[in-house]
Amino acid sequence: MKLVVGLLSLALSFSTLASSGESKTFTYDGSQDSVELILRGEKTHTEYRTEVRTTTCFRTEIVGYRTICNGGGYPGPGPRPYPGGRNCYREPVYRQVDYPCQQTVQIPYEVKDFDVDARVMLDVSKISMEATPGESFTVSLLGDTLSLTANGSKKFFLVLNKQDIRSRMNGTMKFMDALYSVELIESVPVLKALKMTDISLANDVLTFGLGPVNNNPNIAFSLNIEKKKLFGSDEVLFDRELTATEIVIKASNTGSAADVNIDRLGVSLEDGKYSLTAKAYFKAKGSLLNASQYGDDLEASKTLVYKIR
């Protein structure tokens, strides 16, 4: 394993040290597979002090009255426009008056708890030997919280498969040691496989078409079966990930076909209407750091509505 420490020329970019932490970015180009980053900051918490301030308050005062009348008619011959007698009453007139007053307010301020010194080891490995144009990893320290984000070339899934953070206090200094292990998985074979084409059911075997799967360990399958009801909620008969023994993948020149025996799953399709949804999706042993770069391409699904008479 090649190791480069600190400020060597490894395509590292450093942000300006803020009062609460900093961030550093490592661009992986395939020439180095490990880097050590040192980040420093401080942990603070918010407290409040009470202050009395002179300000302007308002009160409502009555400045007079006005007469309001309704109902009744007008003197003279002819019918009255309003039935009944005339009703009058006096209504107060208000205004807002300002006056000086004192107000108690809570003023927030930051109190320093301790300084933070974080030593971060970032290990990157990849399955294929394809050249890597550049995968960017950013480690951020905010107070005493570390985080890792990534932005890739879309040629690889950036999977965080190990994270270990340990810390200790020494006086007014908190020391943190962190290890992030990231695996690069080539994305093109997975994305090509996650193209579901059709779905059908015959003799209790559900069949759906896919791209070339080639026993890719990073592709998983799930199945949802519901019995549709005319009244009330639909009945869920099956809904979980399929094991390797519950699905059979058959390769062809143009793609793959997957077969699932419904009866062997313990589901009996009798008279009625059913909804069967098969899903294929990317799955890895870890969290996908650059999932937002792929959007809806990380899964594919097809639904078959089947009626048995």
Last residue of a domain, one of 149, 169, 186: 186
Q: Indicate if 71 and 147 belong to the same structural domain.
A: no
- Tell me which of 86, 106, 126 is where a domain ends: 106
Q: How far apart are CA 174 and CA 116, in angstroms?
A: 5
Does this model's pTM top 0.95? My answer is: no
Count of alpha carbons within 13 Å of 298, Cβ hemisphere only?
Answer: 14
**309 residues of the chain, pLDDT tens digit each:** 444 433 333 444 433 333 588 999 999 888 888 999 999 999 999 999 999 999 999 999 999 999 998 866 555 455 555 555 678 899 999 999 999 999 999 999 999 999 999 999 999 987 666 666 689 999 999 999 999 999 988 999 999 999 999 999 999 999 999 999 999 999 999 999 999 999 999 999 999 999 998 878 999 999 999 999 988 899 999 999 999 999 999 987 678 999 999 999 999 998 899 999 999 999 999 999 999 999 999 999 999 998 887
**CA 221, CA 279: separation in Å to the nearest integer?**
6
Number of domains within the chain: 3
pLDDT digits (tens, 9 = 90+) for 169-188: 999 999 999 999 999 999 99
Structural contact between residues 204 and 265, judged by C-beta atoms closer than 8 angstroms: no
CATH classification of the domain holding 264: 2.60.40
Q: What gap in Å lies between CA 194 and CA 92, rounded to an integer?
A: 75
Does one domain contain both 38 and 170?
Answer: yes
Beta bridge partners of 256: 210, 251
Q: Residue 262 and residue 269: Cα distance in Å, rounded? A: 8
Contact 190, 219 (CB under 8 A): yes
Q: What whole-number distance in Å separates Cα of residue 31 and Cα of residue 51?
A: 59
Mapping DSSP onto H, E and C, the string for 257-268 reads EEEEECHHHCCC
Final residue of a domain: which of 168, 186, 204? 186
pLDDT of residue 30: 80
What is the tens place of the pLDDT at every residue in 116-148? 999 999 999 876 666 666 899 999 999 999 999
Residues 152 and 238 in one domain: no
Residue 180 near residue 139 (C-beta atoms within 8 A): yes
What residues make up the domain containing 97? 48-106
Q: Partners of 258 in the beta sheet?
A: 208, 249
Environment class of 39 (CB within 10 Å of its CB; exposed 0-12, middle 13-18, buried 19+) = buried
Q: How far apart are CA 144 and CA 154, in angstroms?
A: 31
Query: DSSP characters for 194-215?
Result: -----EEEETTEEEEEES--TT
Which DSSP symbol is given to 292?
G
Q: What pLDDT was estimated at residue 42?
A: 94
67 in the same domain as 37:
no
pLDDT at 263: 94
Under DSSP, the state recorded for 295 is: G
Cα 56 → chain centroid: 45
pLDDT of residue 9: 35
